[in-house]
Homo-oligomer: A and B are copies of this chain.
Amino acid sequence: MTNKKFEVNPWEVKGDIDYGKLIKEFGIEPLKELPEIFENNVLFRRKTIFAHRDIGRVLMAIKNKKKFVMMTGLMPSGNFHLGHMLVVQQMIFYQKLGAKIYIAVADLEAYNARGSTLKEMRKIAIEQYIKNYIALGLSSKNCEIYFQSDRSKDSVKANAYYRLASNFSRYSTFNEFKAVYGDISPGKMNASLLQAADMFHAQLPEFEGSVPIIVPVGTDQDPHLRLARGMSKKFKEHKFIQLSSTYHLFLPGLGGGKMSSSDPNSHIAMTDSEKEVANKINKYAFSGGRATLEEHKKKGGNPDIDVSFQYLKMFFEENDNKLKQIEEDYRNGNLTTGELKKYTIDKINVFLKKHQEKRAKITKNDVENFLYK
């Protein structure tokens, strides 16, 4: 892989990602010894979710069947693609374990930091995100999805949420924002305060009260968490339980790097046709195979950098033995790049066909069940 300048902040990810360095720098810990129910999930078992901070109190809540919250957000921009599934699979996982799911649509953040209109954001959030969440299996029971610009139909909740975002500003300095974000504008700062409220407000008496909250993120999102943790620790009026968080790898884009909403040749969208999937994987998916078939047969390929293999590992081949077989065959040259790609294309298309059928049946009413609680 190329050796680009290493750079990671919540607004963009450039170059290659040195996960070891991120763990060391951000003080998070590798995930070890999880309960069986976690090991049954392919994302945990295969270390796609590879690190955490303070997950203990969430494991305890699960063990003791106590209330806990999983909090996440969505930035309504561009197409929903396979990369977005990483968080959705975790929503569904924790929801089945009894978590209440809070999902913030970061429309004010998009408005302030990206110049979008709230109306556009709303449409994208529903069509691209929420409908796919539902099709993937998220239940409206024990789940609320809200817009930052429109927190609640209950004014007591709405006032409490925005009050918290404002109160956090007392417990931060410009230097803290600058240290975390590099460049900071009033719009970004405001978005960051709202995001801290998103992460913590479930613990307010107007919402769930004192419950553990788990926030699953990509490692590039950790600066947001650290800033919010810092402010919450200085908070005087309310004693917050510190956030628990887990960290996952990015799903690689077709050409490597992070899968991107804005570049269709980097992602497979949930709306892609069978033909598009085949074309994209064949044309763009970075391969760990050799330059010639002869060389491949002789020296073998490298599944670790092969994008198709990573898709199988992260999502589409749940059978460990089968995956292991593919890995071995590819490594020793028995499986060609063309065969691996064809296998992956078929797996993705079987999945997408079912998904698209489910998504087509979702009504306006189904969406409304998630909103405005």
Would B237 and A166 count as touching, CB distance under 8 A?
no
Give the docked Cα–Cα distance between A141 and B133 (Å): 48
The interface residues of chain B lying within 8 Å CB-to-CB of A162 are 151, 158, 162, 165
Nearest CB on B from A117, distance (A): 7
**Which residue of chain B has the shortest Cβ distance to A115 in the bound complex?**
B170
Residue of A117, A118, A170 contacting most chain B CB atoms (<10 Å)? A170
Decide: A167 near B108, CB < 8 A? Known: A155-B155, A158-B162.
Answer: yes
**Which residue of chain B has the shortest Cβ distance to A167 in the bound complex?**
B111
Give the docked Cα–Cα distance between A94 and B237 (Å): 38
Task: Name the contact of A150 in the complex, choosing from B111, B163, B170, B186 (C-beta under 8 A).
Answer: B163
**Chain A, interface SS category:** helix
A187 at the interface (CB under 8 A from B): yes
Can you identify 6 A-B contacts, CB atoms within 8 angstroms? A118-B237, A148-B166, A151-B159, A158-B158, A169-B191, A174-B185
The interface residues of chain B lying within 8 Å CB-to-CB of A111 are 166-167, 170
Known: A108-B167, A174-B184, A190-B193. 20 other contacts (CB 8 A): A111-B166, A111-B170, A112-B166, A112-B167, A118-B163, A118-B237, A148-B166, A149-B159, A149-B163, A150-B163, A152-B159, A154-B155, A158-B162, A162-B162, A166-B190, A170-B186, A170-B187, A172-B187, A177-B186, A189-B189
The interface residues of chain B lying within 8 Å CB-to-CB of A159 are 149-152, 158
Nearest CB on B from A244, distance (A): 26
A63 at the interface (CB under 8 A from B): no
The interface residues of chain B lying within 8 Å CB-to-CB of A236 are 117
**Which residue of chain B has the shortest Cβ distance to A158 in the bound complex?**
B158
Q: How many copies does the complex hold?
A: 2
Give the docked Cα–Cα distance between A111 and B236 (Å): 11
Give the docked Cα–Cα distance between A184 and B186 (Å): 11
Give the docked Cα–Cα distance between A236 and B111 (Å): 11
A363 at the interface (CB under 8 A from B): no
Give the docked Cα–Cα distance between A320 and B271 (Å): 80
Nearest CB on B from A119, distance (A): 8
A153 at the interface (CB under 8 A from B): yes
A194 at the interface (CB under 8 A from B): yes
The interface residues of chain B lying within 8 Å CB-to-CB of A170 are 111-112, 115, 186-187
Would A187 and B169 count as touching, CB distance under 8 A?
yes
A40 at the interface (CB under 8 A from B): no
Nearest CB on B from A120, distance (A): 11
